[in-house]
Structure 1
Amino acid sequence: MDSYIKYVSAYLPSNTLTNEDITKEFPEWNGDKIFSKIGVKNRFIVKDDETVVDMAVNVVLNMVAETNLNLSTIDYLILCTQSPDFKLPTSACIIQDRLGLSKSCAAIDINQGCSGYIYGLSLADALVSSGNYKNVLLITAETYSKYIHKRDKANISLFGDAATATLISTEGVYRLGKFDLGTDGNGWENLILKNGGSRHVDDKDPDNLANFLHMNGGEIFDFTVKNIPDLVDRNLKNNEINQQDISLFVFHQANAFMLSFLRKRIGIPAEKFLVNMENYGNTVSSSIPLAFKDFLSANHKRIMFVGFGVGYSWGAVTLFK
C-alpha cells in the first residue's frame, strides 16, 4: 500500500529576534555580517513559558482550521523533538490528551534533529504501508533557543523555534517514494547538549557551558560535504530517476553558505533548490516541512527532501505527484 503526504501546517511563536536585536547585544556582530555568514535576518523565538507541547498543540489546531481535519481519524502520533517538555513522560502522550485524540491512537516521541523529518516520514510511511494505520500525524517541534547560552552569538544568530504538522495517509497530494537513511555516531560530540541526561546531570550553573548547546561548525560542515552528495545520488538510483527528473530539492535549512556549497557541489540548478531560512533561521527538524509547506499544491511532479545533522544522521526521500 502506498502512503501520501496529505497536509502540511506550521506554527511560529509570536516573539521575533532580528539581526538588529542581536547587534544591540553584540555590537561587533552587525546585521550585514550575520546575513552574509548564515543567510538569516529574523528568527521566531518561544516565550519563556512556551514549550514544545504548546507549539505542537497549536500547529495541529492550525491544521484543523486550514483543512477541516477530523482529529478522531488520527490513529498514530509521532512527535520529533530534542527539546521535550519533560524527560518523562513522553511529550506525545501529553499532546494526545490536550488534543483529545482517541485513546486507541498510538503516541511516541523520536529524539532526532536536523534529519528528523525524514526519519519521521520513513516511520509514518512504514506504518501506513503496512496497512495497520490510515492516518499518521507527524509533528516536528523544537525550542533550541532554550538551550543556547546568552553569550553564544553564533548559535543565537543561527537557530529559530518552530513547529510543523504533516498528515501521512492512504491518499493525498504526494506519494512517498523510497528512502535512504544513514548514521555515523563517530561525530556525536560535535553537536551536543552535554549535561541534562543520565551521564551528566544539569547543574543549573549559568556559566557552565556544558549545560548549553555546543556545535563544532567546521566538523559539521565537513561531515555534510562528505556524505550528502552521495546520499542524493543513492536516492535518485533507489527511486530509478535522474537528477534532471527532480523539479524541486528541499534540503535541511542549515545555513546559507552550506546550502550554496552543497548545491554547487551536487550540480543542482539554483531555480530547483529551495532556500527560505532568511526569516526563520535553522529550525532543526521543522526546517524541511516549513520550507516545503507553501509548495504542497504547486505543480512539482517530483520533489526530493534531504536532511542531515546531529548524530551524525542523514536521510533523503523522493516524493511523486
Structure 2
Amino acid sequence: MNARIAAVDYFLPAGELTNEHLSVQFPEWTVDKIAAKTGIRTRHIANAAESEASLAVMAARALFDNNDIESSAIDFVLLCTQSSDLSSSAARTVQRQLGLRLGIAAIDINLGCSGYVYSLGLAKGLVESGVAKNVLLLTADTYSRYVNSADKSVRTLFGDGASASLIAAGAAESRHLYAFEYGTNGSGGNALIVPNGGRRPGQDIAPSSATDVRGLVSNGFDLFMDGPAIFNFTLSVVPTTVESILHKAGLGLDDVDLFVFHQANAFMLQHLRRKLGIPPERFFISLENSGNTVSSTIPIALSEAQKQGVLQPGMRVMLLGFGVGLSWGGLMVQW
C-alpha cells in the first residue's frame, strides 16, 4: 500500500488584522502598499482563549465534517507546531478534546515553514510500514503572539491558523507521495528566531535580534527575522530543490500540473515563479486572506485550490516548504 492525502481542510480564528488597521499604526505604509509588498490583505489572529491545540481541534472537526470521516478511524496523531503554549504535548490535548480513542499515538513535531512536508514524510512512513492506517496530520501556529506590535517587518506578514489532513493507505500500484527531498542548514538558525522563546537568550545567537538594537520595547518574545538573509537563502535552495525533486520523480517542469510552495509572501513567491519559469496558472498563491501561517500555509493552499476547482483528481502537484531552521523540503503528490 502507498500513503496518500485522502483529505485536507483548515481553520482560521475569527479575529482579524487588516491592512487598514496596520496603515493607521504605520501611516507611511498605505493599505495598497502593504498589499503590493506582501500579497496579504487580512491576517487572522487568535484570541487569548485560543491555543494551538484548540485551533487544531477546529481544523480536525472541519476535516471530519466536510469529508465524512469517522474520528474512530484515526490511529495516529501528528501535530506540527512551533508555538505551543504547553510544556507537554499539544497532540495529547487534541486527542482528549476530539474524543479520540485511547489506543492511539499522539505526538508533536517542532518545525515551522517546512513542517508540513516533513510531517507528510513521517506520516507516509507510518502508513506504508503498517504502523498506522489513518494518520491525522495537524499543523497549528500562533506566531502573532511572538510578534512585537511595533515591528512592521513581521507584523504585516504573519497570521494564525491550523490545518488538518488525513493520510491514509491508497492503491498499491500508484505513487501518491514520492520524490521527497530535504535539507537543513543549522548555521542559519539565527535568521528567524524568537529571542526570548527559550532559556538561552536569543541575543547570544543573533545579536541583531536585541530589542534595543531594533528600536523596540520588548513584549517578552519579539520575533526577529533577517529578511534579506531569508530571501537569499530561499533563492539559493528552492531552484536546486525543485530540480532534485523532478530528477527523483523522473519528470520535467512541464509535467507538473500545479506548484504549491510555502506561502511566505507574494513578492518572494512571484520572484521564485519567474526564476523557475513556471506559468502563473500552474503556480498557486493563497495568502491574501490568511497571511503567512507558518506550517499551515501549504495545506491551506491545497484546500483552497481544491475548493476553487484549481486542484483536480489525477494532477501531479509539487509541494515545497522553506524557512525557519533553516530548513527546506519538497515532494511530488499524485492527487
Q: Bin the TM-score by the shorter chain.
A: over 0.9
Residues 2 and 128 in structure 1, CA contact (< 8 A), matched pair in contact too: yes
Indicate which of 283, 299, 302 corresponds to 1:273.
283
Unaligned runs of 5+ in 2: 203-215
Structure 1 pair 215–209 and aligned structure 2 pair: CA distance change class (3 A): farther
Alignment partner, residue 250 of structure 2: 240
Alignment partner, residue 99 of structure 1: 98
Give the drift of 1:224.
0.4
Give the drift of 1:49.
1.9
Residues 179 and 331 in structure 2, CA contact (< 8 A), matched pair in contact too: yes
Give the Cα–Cα distance (whole angstroms) in 1 for the partners of residues 183 and 38 of structure 2: 26
Indicate which of 285, 288, 292 corresponds to 2:302.
292
Give the Cα–Cα distance (whole angstroms) in 2 for the partners of residues 150 and 17 of structure 1: 11
Alignment partner, residue 193 of structure 2: 192
Residues 40 and 278 in structure 1, CA contact (< 8 A), matched pair in contact too: yes
Residues 8 and 289 in structure 1, CA contact (< 8 A), matched pair in contact too: yes
Alignment partner, residue 259 of structure 1: 269
| 296-305 or 214-223, larger mean C-alpha shift | 296-305
Query: 1:1-321 maps to which residues of 2 (within 5 A)?
Result: 1-86=1-86, 88-171=87-170, 175-200=176-201, 207-208=217-218, 211-296=221-306, 298-321=312-335
Residues 148 and 218 in structure 2, CA contact (< 8 A), matched pair in contact too: no
| 182-191 or 35-44, larger mean C-alpha shift | 35-44
Counterpart of 2:121, as a letter, is: S
Counterpart of 2:68, as a letter, is: N
Give the drift of 1:300.
5.0
Counterpart of 2:9, as a letter, is: S
| 169-178 or 127-136, larger mean C-alpha shift | 169-178
Matched residues, number: 317
Give the Cα–Cα distance (whole angstroms) in 2 for the partners of residues 150 and 277 of structure 1: 20
What's the TM-score once normalised by structure 1's chain length?
0.95
Residues 193 and 210 in structure 1, CA contact (< 8 A), matched pair in contact too: no
Q: Deviations over 1:174-211 (max 9, x none)?
A: 8112210110011000000121313239xxxx933772
Residues 3 and 176 in structure 1, CA contact (< 8 A), matched pair in contact too: yes
Give the Cα–Cα distance (whole angstroms) in 2 for the partners of residues 295 and 207 of structure 1: 40
Give the secondary-structure state (helix, strand or coil) at the position aligned to 2:13.
Answer: coil
Give the Cα–Cα distance (whole angstroms) in 2 for the partners of residues 49 and 199 of structure 1: 28
Residues 137 and 165 in structure 2, CA contact (< 8 A), matched pair in contact too: yes
Give the Cα–Cα distance (whole angstroms) in 2 for the partners of residues 209 and 89 of structure 1: 24
Counterpart of 2:190, as a letter, is: E
Q: Deviations over 1:119-161 (max 9, x none)?
A: 0101001111111210011101110001001101121111111
Give the secondary-structure state (helix, strand or coil) at the position aligned to 2:170.
Answer: coil
Structure 1 pair 259–217 and aligned structure 2 pair: CA distance change class (3 A): same
Residues 5 and 169 in structure 1, CA contact (< 8 A), matched pair in contact too: yes
Q: Deviations over 1:266-300 (max 9, x none)?
A: 11111100011111111111000101113346245
Unaligned runs of 5+ in 1: none
Residues 6 and 174 in structure 1, CA contact (< 8 A), matched pair in contact too: no
Residues 148 and 212 in structure 1, CA contact (< 8 A), matched pair in contact too: yes
Residues 162 and 296 in structure 2, CA contact (< 8 A), matched pair in contact too: yes
Q: Deviations over 1:31-65 (max 9, x none)?
A: 11111111111111111221111101111111121
Give the Cα–Cα distance (whole angstroms) in 1 for the partners of residues 81 and 305 of structure 2: 24
Alignment partner, residue 209 of structure 2: none
Give the Cα–Cα distance (whole angstroms) in 1 for the partners of residues 85 and 196 of structure 2: 16
Give the Cα–Cα distance (whole angstroms) in 2 for the partners of residues 239 and 137 of structure 1: 26
Give the Cα–Cα distance (whole angstroms) in 2 for the partners of residues 182 and 30 of structure 1: 37
Residues 248 and 300 in structure 1, CA contact (< 8 A), matched pair in contact too: no
Structure 1 pair 83–69 and aligned structure 2 pair: CA distance change class (3 A): same
Give the Cα–Cα distance (whole angstroms) in 2 for the partners of residues 196 and 281 of structure 1: 22
**Percent of aligned pairs with the same residue?**
44
Question: What is the alpha-carbon root mean square deviation over aligned residues?
Answer: 1.8
Give the drift of 1:68.
2.0
